[in-house]
């Protein structure tokens, strides 16, 4: 009898050990509630706008060079044509290099974005880690990522817990959404 009870308890414990708890969060929703993330996004937009403006100015200058060449082409000698075309080609290559340097895969804009947004994402990661330990979760998925989640049971949504761990209150949003605008008489 004792042996049977022991085996039942051992079986129950082993089943519990293999049962893995999981949850998910919505990182887009979380970041939309983080003021520091919004500030980083705004700073990022300002930073990239400066580069876009600089590149557009260089493109305009290049178009002017091409137009001027086309207008004066008849009057130019063969050497002058080659020299002007070489200058235009050099300008085009410099513009392509600048564009790649700024907006390329590991360009300046990408590096700046990583620099500005990384602290917020690190906070979210730490909060998720804290919630995973508290709730004894083995996995936390991100609903906003490329992992397709066909169905998600709201019981496993830990977004609110992460927001709470970050010190972000949803009460303000709920109060704003519930306010009714009274018509003037």
Q: How do residues 38-82 score in pLDDT, each as one tens digit?
A: 999 999 999 999 999 999 999 999 999 999 999 998 998 999 999
On whether the CB atoms of residues 149 and 141 are closer than 8 A, the answer is yes
Q: Which helix (H) or strand (E) holds 104?
A: none
On whether the CB atoms of residues 101 and 108 are closer than 8 A, the answer is yes
Q: Mean pLDDT over residues 22-48, rounded?
A: 90
Nearest to 65 by CA among 85, 79, 82: 85
SS3 34: coil
Q: Report the number of distinct structural domains present in the chain.
A: 1
- 1 in a domain, yes or no? no
- Name the range with the highest mean pLDDT among 83-97, 116-130, 153-167: 83-97
- 51 in a domain, yes or no? yes
- Range of the structural domain that residue 27 is part of: 20-178
Q: Helices 159-166 & 108-134, crossing angle to 10 degrees?
A: 100
Cα–Cα distance, 76 to 28 (Å, whole number): 59
More reliable by pLDDT, 172 or 71:
71
């Amino acid at each position: 009898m004792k042996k049977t009870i022991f085996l039942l308890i051992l079986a129950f414990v082993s089943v519990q050990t293999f049962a893995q708890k999981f949850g998910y969060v919505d990182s887009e929703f979380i970041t939309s509630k983080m003021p520091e993330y919004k500030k980083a996004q705004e700073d990022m937009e300002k930073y990239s706008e400066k580069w876009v403006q600089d590149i557009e100015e260089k493109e305009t200058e290049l178009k002017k060079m091409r137009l001027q060449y086309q207008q004066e082409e008849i009057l130019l000698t063969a050497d002058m044509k080659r020299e002007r075309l070489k200058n235009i080609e050099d300008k085009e290559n410099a513009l392509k290099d600048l564009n790649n340097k700024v907006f390329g895969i590991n360009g300046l804009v990408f590096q700046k974005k990583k620099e500005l947004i990384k602290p917020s994402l690190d906070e979210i990661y730490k909060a998720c880690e804290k919630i995973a330990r508290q709730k004894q979760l083995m996995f936390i998925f991100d609903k906003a990522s490329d992992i397709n989640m066909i169905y998600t049971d709201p019981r496993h949504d830990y977004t609110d817990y992460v927001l709470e761990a970050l010190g972000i209150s949803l009460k303000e949003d709920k109060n704003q959404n519930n306010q009714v605008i009274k018509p003037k008489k």
